[in-house]
Every structure is written in structure tokens, then in C-alpha cells.
Amino acid sequence: MTAPDRGFTNDEFASRLAKAQAAMARHDVAALLLTNEAEIRYFTGFMTQFWQSPTRPWFVILPATGKPVAVIPSIGAALMRHCYIDDLVCWPSPAADDDGISLLASRLRHSLSNGGKLAMLRGRETALRMPLGDYTELITRLGSVELYDMTTDIQQIRMVKSPAEIAKIRHICGLASNVFSTVPSWVQAGIPLDEMFRQFKIRALQSGVDDVSYLVGAAGAGGYDDIIAPPTSRPVMPGDIFMFDTGCVWDGYFCDFDRNFAVHHATDAACEAHQKLHDATLAARAILRPGITASDLFTAMHKSLHPNGSPHSDGEDVGRYGHGLGIQLTEPPSHTSWDQTKIENGMVLTLEPSIGYGDGCIMVAEENVLVTLDGSELLTQAAPRDLPIIAPNPS
């Protein structure tokens, strides 16, 4: 597979910033303070696994006009200098008492000096990646500034992917699809689940993914009951159903999909569950186009899975039937009964119906799709309708 270009053009960052600043202007926001990896990367291009270290806080301010301002630990200066920023303020972190808060307050005061609100992301699916005590101190120092929550605006901007973002997600979906296609050739009864995970990761890296940042799954006789656990060392056995769910990454963008397999044979209930999930995915794709809502996708899948109704109003324990995808493994919207987000051209979504069956088993199927002007494009190589069965090794 030919890989797309890495990174983004300055035009792309300018376009992202313009959308954010237009939203800021609508809400009279003079400065938007970002503390999280995803948004800081989205607006500046600052990409590093150093976020794994929780020690240091990182701050980026989007001002009302002009490029982003970075207020960051010195250790990140060399990398941030090449990013889409106008102004770089650094301090040696960790610091004894004041870990960037005075610098940040001073820079924010500058942005807020002509009035206007201070915005942050305070809503659904966000976190505050700085010490809560430092946040309280910052707000106290800023005095009477009016706070504003721009979660919805920023999520709305990020949900619609650019052609360059789509190219990266398409690439990683293709790479991971290739890895999944090899599974029947190397999984046999008797292989411990954790060894299967290790093999999957190695093959994914060999196929060209940058990182296997997320790999969960499970195996069990007739089915599994947990979809987020790390693997055990139990060998898979004839009659097991096993599932891998992976978020592989290429140039900072995720795929997120899974595949189910049976070892040697499967119960009718498991085969039927797999078909139902496949049909639910088709039901979603049948209506998927700009103008519908995430809730419409949920309803289409839920009706397909439970034509006679279901006691679960929101898709079993998973809570939803899919979500957005991009810099993060999971992004808005959520395919639930209540999410009225309008689907737009350029969104990348997972379709992820799940169903309970048998004695406490659950099965999840997941595909990744791009919303196009008149429908959708599957970014993953579709799972078959029939549960794939790994045949015994001829010996």
C-alpha cells in the first residue's frame, strides 16, 4: 500500500484555526485554553508520545486572532518550534512551586485584555489535563473573567475530517484490515490468547502501522463476556469464539474495528449473533448519508438487531452502537438513542452494533466508514456475514 504524506500543510492548520476563531467570535471568546493532547495536536501539529508522562502540564491558547500560543515545558520547545504557532513561552518543568501557572496567567491576561470570555473544554468526553489545584489557582488569578465551554464547537469542527485526515485513516484501516485477513493462517487451537495478541501486534507493525496503541479482546467457549480486557494466557480451544478489537495508529490517526472468529466450530447462537450484527451494519449503511443523525444510525441498528423490541434502550452494556474516529480512538458523535448530531460529509464513523446471546455472552462487530456526499465508503475490508471458522490444522 502506498502511504499518504505524513503531517499536514500550514493551510490545513490555518483552516482549522479559522473555524475555531469563527466559533470564538460568535461566543465573544477572547481566548480558548487547551490542555489535552488531541486538541493541542489538532491545532498546532505537536505530536509526541511524551504525553505518556503525566508529570508536566502543556498549554496552548487560541487567541481571537493570530496563530496559537504555546506555553509549555522547555523539554518540548525543540518540537513545538516547528509547529503551527506564533508564540512560544517555555519554562523548565517540573518546577518547585509554580509549574507554568504564572506564565499562563500572564499570557491569558494579554489575550483577555480587551474583554471577552475565557473558553475551555468542560463538557462531554473531555478531561482537564493539568492539576485541579493549579486550575483553581489560575482562575483565581484571572479574577472576574467570564468562563465559557466550547466543547460542542470544537468537537463539531473536529468531527468533519479533511481530505488529508481521511487519507491517513483510510491508510490505517487498510493496513489493519490486511492484518486481520491473515489471522486464519496463524491462529490454531492451542495458542494462548496473549501470544495471539503479541503475534497480531508484530504483524501489524510489519505491515506498516506506526503503533498498536489499542488491542483488546477475549475468547471463551461459545463466546466471550468482556470486550475491554487484556488477554489471558489461556490457550484458545475448539469451540471458542475469540475477538480482537484494535486501534492501530498511522501518523497519529486511529482505526478502530474488531473481528470475530470461531475455533473449529461454533454454536448456532454464535453464528446467528454474527449474522445479526452484519445485518445491523448493513441497515446502518443503508441509511447513512449527510443529513441523518447519529440517533438515526442507532435506531436502524437497534431495529435490525431487535425487530421485536429489546429491554435495552441503548445497545446493551456498550452504551452505543459506534462513534466518531480520528486523532482519538473514540470521538463524538455517539450512535445512541439521544445523540442528535447531524451526520455530515467527511465524517469518519465506526458502526459497532453489539448483541447479547447464550448464557451471558456478548458479541461486537465493528467497521469504519467515511461519510460521503451521497452515502458512505467502507474504509475497512468488510467482515463476512458468516462467522469465520478457523479450521483444524491438517496434520
Examine residue 276 and tell whether it contacts a second copy (CB under 8 A): no
Q: Considering only 16-24, 43-51, 297-305, 369-377, which stretch makes contact with a second copy by CB under 8 A?
A: 43-51
In whole angstroms, how far apart are CA 249 and each of 144, 331, 376? 42, 15, 22
- Residue identified by cell 487547551 is 34
In this chain, which stretch among 109-117, 122-130, 365-373, 386-394 interacts with a second copy, using CB under 8 A? 122-130
**CB-based contacts of 375-379 (< 8 A; 24+ apart in sequence):** 375/285, 375/288, 375/289, 376/285, 376/288, 376/289, 378/285, 379/169, 379/170, 379/173, 379/174, 379/255, 379/348
Residue among 15, 21, 48, 156 that touches a second copy (CB under 8 A): 48
Q: Based on CB atoms, which residue is closest to a second copy, 33 or 263?
A: 33
For position 120 contacting a second copy by CB under 8 A, the verdict is yes
Residues 129-158 that bind a second copy (CB under 8 A): 129-133, 135-136, 149, 151
Element (H, E) at 321: none
- Contacting a second copy within 3-32 (CB under 8 A): 6
Of 89, 77, 29, 35, the C-alpha closest to 57 is 35
Q: Which residues pair with 70 in a beta bridge?
A: 60, 88
- 205 or 389, CB closer to a second copy? 205
Contact 62, 121 (CB under 8 A): no
- Of 238 and 338, the one with the shorter C-beta distance to a second copy is 338
Alpha-carbon distance 345 to 95, whole Å?
46
Least Å from the CB of residue 146 to a second copy: 15
Enumerate residues 180-219 that contact a second copy by CB under 8 A. Answer: 194, 198, 201-202, 205-206, 210-216
How many residues bind to a second copy according to rule CB under 8 A?
79
* CB-nearer residue toward a second copy: 170 or 323: 323
Interacting residue with a second copy among 64, 77, 145, 237 (CB under 8 A): 77
Minimum CB separation of residue 385 from a second copy in Å reads 25
Euclidean distance between the first and the last CA atom of the chain, given in angstroms as a whole number: 34
234 near a second copy, judged by CB under 8 A: no
Single out the residue of 317, 384, 386, 392 in contact with a second copy (rule: CB under 8 A): 317
Instruction: Check: CB of residue 223 under 8 Å from CB of residue 268.
Output: no
Nearest alpha carbon to residue 246 among 281, 288, 199, 285: 199
Q: Which is nearer to a second copy, 45 or 116 (CB)?
A: 45
Residues 345-374 interacting with a second copy (rule: CB under 8 A):
none
Asked if 279 interacts with a second copy (CB under 8 A), we say no
Among 63, 116, 247, 353, binds a second copy (CB under 8 A): 247
Residue type, 277: L
Q: Which of 237, 329, 378, 389 binds a second copy (CB under 8 A)?
A: 329
- Strand, coil or helix: what is 96? coil
Q: Which is nearer to a second copy, 63 or 217 (CB)?
A: 217
Residue among 353, 187, 355, 149 at smallest CA distance from 257? 353
230 binds a second copy per the rule CB under 8 A: yes
Binding test (CB under 8 A) with a second copy, winner from 1, 28, 92, 382: 92
Are 362 and 236 in contact by the 8 Å Cβ rule? The answer is: no
The neighbour count for residue 184, using CB atoms within 10 Å, is 13
277 CB-near residues (< 8 Å, 6+ apart): 305, 353, 354, 355, 363, 364, 365
Cell numbers of 198, please?
503479541
Q: Which is nearer to a second copy, 65 or 232 (CB)?
A: 232
Rounded least distance, CB 286 to a second copy, Å: 25
| In the complex, least distance from residue 110 CB atom to a second copy, rounded to whole angstroms | 23
By CB under 8 A, which span of 300-308, 326-334, 343-351, 367-375 interacts with a second copy?
326-334
The Cα–Cα gap between 99 and 55 comes to 10
Q: If binding is defined by CB under 8 A, does position 38 make contact with a second copy?
A: yes
Give the cell for residue 162. 479533511
